[in-house]
A and B are shown apart, each in its own frame.
Chain A
Amino acid sequence: MSGATLPVVLPARSEGRTHAIRYFLRKNPRMLVGVVLLAILLFVALFAPLIAPYDPIKVVVTDALEPPSIDHLLGTDDLGRDVFSRVLWGSRVSLSVGLISVTIGFLVGVTIGLLAGYLGGTFDLLAMRVIDALLAFPALVLAIAITAALGPQIQNAMIAIGVVAVPGYARLTRGQVLAVRSREYIAAARTVGVPPLRIVLRHIFPNIANSLVVQATLATAFAILAEAALSFLGLGPQPPYPSWGQDINYSQRYLANMKWWMSAGPGIAIFIAVFTFNFLGDALRDALDPRLRRSG
């Protein structure tokens, strides 16, 4: 090697990042499948008004209860509304409830977990007992109780599912913080006088973010399923607004008449959405956190 100093050309930052993402996806093909599925879901939800062939709430009595055909891909319901259009519009409810409730759970749960793990002491003890109490409820029962108390509305369903998600994040974050807190780099940061908030946000949080991302993805799958269940019980968005769970409940009365298509669309849509997040969560876990990788 010669002693001359060669100029180092760094690639543009954004280019480097794109390359890194591409490399990461190529290395983890399951992630690629998950990301593509997610992109399709988001596309459908964002552009439902443009893709949907019909108005999802327009009643056309003459078209009532038609089986799937070229005109109506998933048939029509008893009011002549196009099931396919309702399924596309319904994705907006499911995804927004999923994402917003997971955000609520994430912000509250991670904050509690960070504080409990870093501060320890009385705060940790009290916070963890509250978390234990939340965990003592079967998740869906708690969500139903909260939504029933607050009133059947989409916002309340979001809050309820968000509250139910809190313990998962809080426990995970606390555990991870406890594991990271005793590392040398944290001791070093503390020694040089870095303030506690900065230690938590700049040194601890980035090191536990991977497991939180995995948890958030899997929690979104649960949130979508929970929203569907709440809507099925009449605790989600109210008619005539399309929502998968509520549409399945509505279709129940026509089951004996073999009008199976009314529930097939929303049922399969819930499955695809939940499957996407479960699949992506599993793939992310394998890719980001090899320690958590399940044997086999």
Chain B
Amino acid sequence: MTTYILRRLLLMIPVALLVTIGIFVIIRIAPGDPVRTYAGENPDEATIAAVRTQLGLDQPLPIQYAAWLSRAVQGDLGRSFQTKQRVVEAIAERLPVTFELGAAALLISVTVALVVGVISAVKRNSVIDLVTTSVTLAGVSFPNFYLGLLLILLFAYVVPGHLLPPGGWTPFATDPGDNLRRLILPAITIATASLAVNLRQVRSSLLDVFGQDYVRTARAKGLRERAVVVRHALKNALIPVVTIIGIQVGAIIEGAIITETIFFIPGIGRLAVQAIPSQDYPIVQGVVLVSALSFMLSTLAVDILYAFLDPRISFGGVEA
């Protein structure tokens, strides 16, 4: 198990390096001179040259990359062109908001997927199953930003008494009640996108397991259906579901970018979106880096958890 984790960690290093090269290149190919953005309104040539040297942009690209990487590893991702705030600070301030939103979305998505997925698989081909599978197919195709707007329309404007606020954010520490009220709609918006995938996975892996001999044995020895489903089938069916949930972390970050914009939530998604029109590349770079690293770490966590849950794959090799 330890060897497996170590090998998996070692394999992550070249990929992480390639990811940083990718992010560095994407930002460097951008049109427009960051020096001009940084040097303020109508700078003279001397100022431009000074800023260029100060930012290290007069060096060859590989040296610029090495310098950027060594600073990044030490937690220095530069400063925002616009606010001059340190990128790490700007992200750290907003990360808890995105994290809370993402966790709430994941909780909703997984809970609903488990409950509905199990019912759907147990009552296969029933009306519930039919409705679930159709709604699921519709769910993967529905643009979540439009869903967000519909939810705002419905709960903030149409329903009498303005049940929930149309957007904005209150930190949990300030007012837990208001925090939850503002969390519900955006969390549902993000959850819907991954819910469809999770639900499908729960249903189909349960159906797979129902066909296995040990489930038949459990039934044959007279266990109640509930015990068969919960104790025998679900336990094994959840292994592939764990993998899918790990991949959902990526979807949640994507969802956060759009959803935070719609609901005016001060998370890292909105930070990136606001930075784009003003070409505030250090911010965009920072958010993309944090997203990629969180996604990589969640995939790693899932791989390890997967090996732990299903010992057959942990020692056979890395290709889990």
Residues in A lying within 8 Å of B, measured CB to CB? 129-130, 132-134, 136-142, 144-146, 148-151, 221, 225, 228-229, 232-235, 245, 248-249, 251-252, 255-256, 258, 260, 263, 266-267, 270-271, 274-275, 278-279, 282, 294-296
If the complex has contacts A150-B30, A294-B204, are A145 and B23 also in contact, measured as CB distance less than 8 A?
A: yes
- What's the least CB distance linking B134 to chain A, in Å? 11
Most buried by B among A233, A251, A275, A278: A233
Contacts of A271 in B (CB 8 A): 138, 141-143, 146
- What's the least CB distance linking A108 to chain B, in Å? 15
Whether, in the assembled complex, B22 has its beta carbon less than 8 Å from a beta carbon of chain A, the answer is yes
- The A-contacting residues of B in range 8-28, CB under 8 angstroms, are 14-16, 18-19, 21-23, 26-27
If the complex has contacts A278-B140, A295-B204, A296-B204, are A137 and B31 also in contact, measured as CB distance less than 8 A?
A: no
Contacts of A295 in B (CB 8 A): 204, 207-208, 211
- What's the least CB distance linking B118 to chain A, in Å? 13
Choose from B19, B140, B146, B273 the contact partner of A267 (Cβ within 8 Å): B146
Are B295 and A136 in contact (CB-based, < 8 A)? yes
Whether, in the assembled complex, B128 has its beta carbon less than 8 Å from a beta carbon of chain A, the answer is no
Return the chain B residue nearest A263 by Cβ. Answer: B149
Contacts of A258 in B (CB 8 A): 153, 157-158
Choose from A139, A146, A229, A234 the contact partner of B145 (Cβ within 8 Å): A229
Are B157 and A282 in contact (CB-based, < 8 A)? no
Contacts of A137 in B (CB 8 A): 19, 22, 288, 291-292, 295
Choose from A138, A151, A296 the contact partner of B253 (Cβ within 8 Å): A138
If over half of A's interface residues share one DSSP class (helix, strand or loop), that class is named, otherwise mixed; here it is helix
- What's the least CB distance linking B275 to chain A, in Å? 8
Return the chain A residue nearest B201 by Cβ. Answer: A294
Contacts of B138 in A (CB 8 A): 271, 275
Are B153 and A255 in contact (CB-based, < 8 A)? yes
Give the distance in Å from the alpha carbon of A135 to the alpha carbon of B207 in the complex: 29
- What's the least CB distance linking B144 to chain A, in Å? 8
Are B146 and A150 in contact (CB-based, < 8 A)? no
Are A275 and B141 in contact (CB-based, < 8 A)? yes
Return the chain B residue nearest A140 by Cβ. Answer: B254
Are B19 and A234 in contact (CB-based, < 8 A)? no
Are A248 and B22 in contact (CB-based, < 8 A)? no
Chain B contact patch, size range:
35 or more
Number of interchain pairs (Cβ within 8 Å): 145
Contacts of A267 in B (CB 8 A): 143, 146, 149-150
Are B141 and A221 in contact (CB-based, < 8 A)? yes
Contacts of A274 in B (CB 8 A): 140-143
Give the distance in Å from the alpha carbon of A279 to the alpha carbon of B138 in the complex: 9
Are B141 and A145 in contact (CB-based, < 8 A)? no
Residues in B lying within 8 Å of A, measured CB to CB? 14-16, 18-19, 21-23, 26-27, 29-31, 121, 124, 137-138, 140-143, 145-146, 149-150, 152-153, 157-158, 166, 200, 203-204, 207-208, 211, 250-251, 253-254, 257-258, 261-262, 272-273, 276-277, 281, 284, 287-288, 291-292, 295-296, 299
Not counting A245-B143, A267-B146, a sample of 17 additional A-B residue pairs whose C-beta atoms are within 8 angstroms of each other reads A133-B19, A136-B15, A136-B296, A137-B22, A137-B291, A138-B251, A141-B292, A148-B284, A150-B31, A228-B143, A234-B276, A251-B149, A255-B149, A267-B150, A271-B143, A274-B142, A294-B204
Are B257 and A140 in contact (CB-based, < 8 A)? yes
Choose from B137, B254, B277, B281 the contact partner of A141 (Cβ within 8 Å): B254
Return the chain B residue nearest A225 by Cβ. Answer: B143
Contacts of A228 in B (CB 8 A): 143, 145
Give the distance in Å from the alpha carbon of A129 to the alpha carbon of B284 in the complex: 24
Are B15 and A270 in contact (CB-based, < 8 A)? no
Are A255 and B152 in contact (CB-based, < 8 A)? yes
Are B291 and A248 in contact (CB-based, < 8 A)? no
Contacts of B140 in A (CB 8 A): 274, 278
Contacts of A133 in B (CB 8 A): 15, 18-19, 21-22
**6 A-B pairs with the lowest CB-CB distances in the bound complex, closest first:** A133-B18, A267-B146, A138-B250, A296-B207, A275-B141, A140-B254
Are A232 and B137 in contact (CB-based, < 8 A)? no
Give the distance in Å from the alpha carbon of A270 to the alpha carbon of B204 in the complex: 27
Most buried by B among A145, A225, A228, A235: A145
- What's the least CB distance linking B260 to chain A, in Å? 11
Give the distance in Å from the alpha carbon of A130 to the alpha carbon of B146 in the complex: 34
Contacts of A141 in B (CB 8 A): 250, 253-254, 257, 287-288, 291-292
- What's the least CB distance linking B13 to chain A, in Å? 11
Give the distance in Å from the alpha carbon of A172 to the alpha carbon of B95 in the complex: 34
Give the distance in Å from the alpha carbon of A142 to the alpha carbon of B253 in the complex: 11
Are B18 and A149 in contact (CB-based, < 8 A)? no
If the complex has contacts A150-B29, A255-B152, A255-B153, are A144 and B257 also in contact, measured as CB distance less than 8 A?
A: yes
Return the chain A residue nearest B143 by Cβ. Answer: A270
- What's the least CB distance linking A243 to chain B, in Å? 13
Are A145 and B166 in contact (CB-based, < 8 A)? no
Give the distance in Å from the alpha carbon of A150 to the alpha carbon of B29 in the complex: 7
Contacts of A150 in B (CB 8 A): 29-31
Are A151 and B276 in contact (CB-based, < 8 A)? no
Give the distance in Å from the alpha carbon of A271 to the alpha carbon of B138 in the complex: 8
Contacts of A136 in B (CB 8 A): 15-16, 19, 292, 295-296, 299
Contacts of A248 in B (CB 8 A): 143, 145-146, 149
Most buried by B among A130, A146, A232, A263: A232
If the complex has contacts A232-B258, A248-B149, are A139 and B284 also in contact, measured as CB distance less than 8 A?
A: no
Choose from B15, B157, B251 the contact partner of A255 (Cβ within 8 Å): B157
Give the distance in Å from the alpha carbon of A132 to the alpha carbon of B17 in the complex: 11
- What's the least CB distance linking A146 to chain B, in Å? 6
